[in-house]
Structure 1
Amino acid sequence: MAGSEKDPEYLSTLERGLSVLRAFDATRPEMALSEVAVATGLSPAVARRCLNTLVALGYIRQDGRRFLLTPEVLAFGSAYLSSMNIETIAVPPLQALGQATGDSVSLAVRSGREILYVCHIPSNRRIRLGAGVGTRFPLNATSMGKVIIAFQGDAAIDAYLAGGPLPRLTERTITDPDSFRARLQTIRERRYDSALDELDYGIVSVAVPLFDVAGHVVGAINCSTSTTRISQDELVRTRLPLLAEAAGTIASELRRFPQLARSLSGS
């Protein structure tokens, strides 16, 4: 955030260190110094200082000229899940939903131009496109992403569409801005979205919004499964009542744990 760097309370060194941690992913499980510099946009000298600091703190391990994350980074996610009472608030209703349907069930929030999985209950059926806590997908290609932004209002939609082209993951992914706006209007009217082959071929999902006590959308929950199991129409018909019940349960719990609602809305 360039504007934030002008704030005397803003630590650009911390931002750089976090950018180094975030640079590692499934496609870059380990990197040399030069690769870290390219991935983060940092100069080699700055990247080297960040890496050396993170190695000293135990979050990154150096193996010859290569660097990789250590399990210590999991402490950040664990701290969030425990401090926000995710296990108490979201897991029980989502587990019950998963057991009743056999689907994968998730709770996600918006994170920039993507959605971020905060809770995920996998099914025991193999789905080609795996997901888990911390997984990110393009907002426009997911039922949860479209549900969230649909209820964030016109200003949020305008800013999102002005931020760049919509990524295409399949031939069915909505990438045309006018079509995207029309889809969001439909979502507002029926209060759910269903995606078929938009994120990946063979995956169908249905999602509903999750609101806080003030009526602001803070996330979405969905059921997702393979198209070989169920048709889109049948998924919507049978899962919507169950999703609405689970969303209501979580919303009630958010009244008891307002810190989680504030955290989700700030994602």
Structure 2
Amino acid sequence: MPAEPVPPVAESSARPRDFVQSLERGLAIIRVFSAERPSLTVTEIAESTGLTRAASRRFLLTLVELGYVATDGRYYELTPRVLELGYAFLSGLSFPEVALPRLERLVGDVGEASEAAILDGSEIVYVVRVPGPALMTISVNIGARMPAHATAMGRVLLAGLDDAQLDEQLAGIELQPIQPRTIVDRALLREEIMRIRQQGWALVDQELEEGLVAIAVPVRDRSGRVTAAINLSTHVGRRSAKELLEILPDLQRTAAEIEGDLAVSTASSNRRMRI
């Protein structure tokens, strides 16, 4: 994904009196680098930021001294130390706060609604909701609960349990025929959940609501334990179950990004506790 262009540094007259323009310029230089442009010369950085070559060079050498930038004398690139700038922010975020921007981007890319949920007994609890362009009749406000056995996220979360936990959960679930397609046979449901555990995703086609189809994947912590699930949901009038499967890679990529953000958050928190 191309990096967003870095806006030119504004003139000091356009800023409040207490604004520190030198800090703005240093951050503008850091933002110039991207996956597409990992290594840049002073001239390229000056052109991208609107700064003079002399000013760009001074800021770059300061960043080199601080350990945020490395140079071979001609080309400059960021060092891993810049990750520290995001650690403090990520370490204070909860799962919903980490997941929300990733799901917003996903919805923007694929044009379908997305949610995140956690398991609470035999139900899922929605903790993030990003609506898509299609109107859904089902209520999925934050905090809403749905039966785990009839939802894609619920089945993914059930698949993340160990065998003993899963059997205990299935024994206590009241399998109501919510829709004609809803699985209400305990043995068939367990078979479906084991298949989901093997393939790593779940697809539910009109088992919770007529016309509603959803696909879900797990979100794991650093130990590999399933802690949450995210989905894409739509109406069969927009995409069939087969068509929804075509955007499964986008959903899986988003789950991996969320897991990466959460790993950074956990590592930062653990490091702070050791200090």
**TM-score interval w.r.t. the shorter chain?**
0.5 to 0.7
How far is the alpha carbon of 1:246 from its aligned partner? 0.4
Q: Does residue 170 of structure 1 match 2:179?
A: yes
Answer whether contact 2:95 2:262 (CA < 8 A) is retained: no
CA distance in 2, matches of 1:212, 1:223: 21
Aligned to 1:202: 211
CA distance in 1, matches of 2:234, 2:109: 13
Distance 1:161 1:98, change over 3 A: same
Q: Which amino acid aligns with 1:254?
A: L
Q: Does residue 159 of structure 1 match 2:160?
A: no
CA distance in 1, matches of 2:222, 2:261: 10
Number of residue-to-residue matches in the alignment? 178
CA distance in 1, matches of 2:266, 2:125: 20
Q: How does 1:66-105 map to 2 (within 5 A)?
A: 84-86=93-95, 88-105=97-114
For each residue in 1:75-114, what CA deviation from the matched residue of structure 2 results, as whole angstroms up to 9, or x when unmatched?
xxxxxxxx64456411111001111111110110001110
How far is the alpha carbon of 1:123 from its aligned partner? 1.2
| Secondary structure of residue in 1 paired with 2:156 | helix
Q: Does residue 146 of structure 1 match 2:123?
A: no
How far is the alpha carbon of 1:171 from its aligned partner? 1.0
Q: Which amino acid aligns with 2:252?
A: A
For each residue in 1:188-231, what CA deviation from the matched residue of structure 2 results, as whole angstroms up to 9, or x when unmatched?
12110100111100000100011000000001100000000011
Percent of counterpart pairs with the same letter?
A: 34
How far is the alpha carbon of 1:132 from its aligned partner? 1.8
Q: Does residue 228 of structure 1 match 2:237?
A: yes
Answer whether contact 1:149 1:157 (CA < 8 A) is retained: yes
Q: Which has the larger radius of gyration?
A: 2
| Secondary structure of residue in 2 paired with 1:90 | helix
How far is the alpha carbon of 1:256 from its aligned partner? 2.3
Answer whether contact 1:210 1:219 (CA < 8 A) is retained: yes
CA distance in 2, matches of 1:125, 1:92: 20
Gaps of 5+ in 1: 1-82, 262-267
Q: Which amino acid aligns with 1:242?
A: D
Q: Which moved more, 1:182-191 or 1:193-202?
A: 182-191
Q: Does residue 254 of structure 1 match 2:259?
A: no
Gaps of 5+ in 2: 1-91, 270-275
Answer whether contact 2:122 2:173 (CA < 8 A) is retained: no
CA distance in 2, matches of 1:149, 1:173: 16
- TM-score of the superposition, structure 2-length normalised? 0.62
- TM-score of the superposition, structure 1-length normalised? 0.63
Answer whether contact 2:152 2:204 (CA < 8 A) is retained: yes
Q: Does residue 123 of structure 1 match 2:169?
A: no
Q: Which amino acid aligns with 2:258?
A: I
Distance 1:136 1:88, change over 3 A: closer
| Secondary structure of residue in 2 paired with 1:115 | strand
Q: Which moved more, 1:173-182 or 1:160-169?
A: 160-169
| Aligned counterpart in structure 1 of residue 220 of structure 2, from 208, 211, 214 | 211
How far is the alpha carbon of 1:155 from its aligned partner? 1.0
Q: Structure 1 runs of 4+ off > 2 angstroms?
A: 83-88, 256-259
CA distance in 2, matches of 1:87, 1:189: 26
Aligned to 2:250: 242
Q: Which amino acid aligns with 2:261?
A: E
| Secondary structure of residue in 2 paired with 1:92 | helix
Answer whether contact 2:96 2:127 (CA < 8 A) is retained: no
